[in-house]
Amino acid sequence: MAGIRLIQHAPGAPGLRWLGLGPGFKPTRGLLKLQRLLNKHAFWAQGRSTANLRKILAGSNVIISLWRGKRLVGFGRATSDGICRAVLWDIVVAGDLQGHGFGRQVIDALLGAPGIRGVERVYLMTTKSQGFYEQLGFENSTSQQLLLLKHKNN
């Protein structure tokens, strides 16, 4: 599909975080657009305030956004120690553009980014999209279990 642009942000995405920068480093209310994308297409990430999104970006080592013109159509981020462990978070593609390979582009860009490339283990958690990740080389872990701290709302 023509006109899709992928941005690999600097760690913490300062331009997106503080100035809402999009493609070409132009201000485009990017943070509000991210909030809307997550509210609409990422059921686990609804209702995050822009203040919290800023903190979330600041705490992320690798951040990818996908744009069609001034529209934010895809997003993904990762936390990583750069050597041993990385975790992918908040992978999303706008509903009308799903199924065109953009999710794959976001994952490939995350995995190829300097902060993740070469890391010993890459984890992710998914509720509904296991099949998508299996297409991209992830597998269900049988040797480890996911544990959640009790008494947390989320």
Q: How far apart are CA 78 and CA 118, in angstroms?
A: 14
Stretch that binds ligand COA, among 25-33, 51-59, 97-105, 138-146 (CB under 6 A): 97-105
Q: How far apart are CA 47 and CA 35, in angstroms?
A: 8
Stretch that binds ligand COA, among 30-38, 47-55, 115-123, 128-136 (CB under 6 A): 128-136
Residue 46 near ligand COA by CB under 6 A: no
Q: How far apart are CA 133 and CA 24, in angstroms?
A: 30
Residue 40 near ligand COA by CB under 6 A: no
Instruction: Report the sign of the C-alpha dihedral through residues 139, 102, 43, 15, in that order.
Output: positive
The answer to whether 119 and 82 have CB atoms below 8 angstroms apart is yes
- Which residue, 21 or 89, has its beta carbon nearer to ligand COA? 89
Binding interface with ligand COA (CB under 6 A): 41-42, 91-93, 98-104, 126, 128-129, 131-132, 135
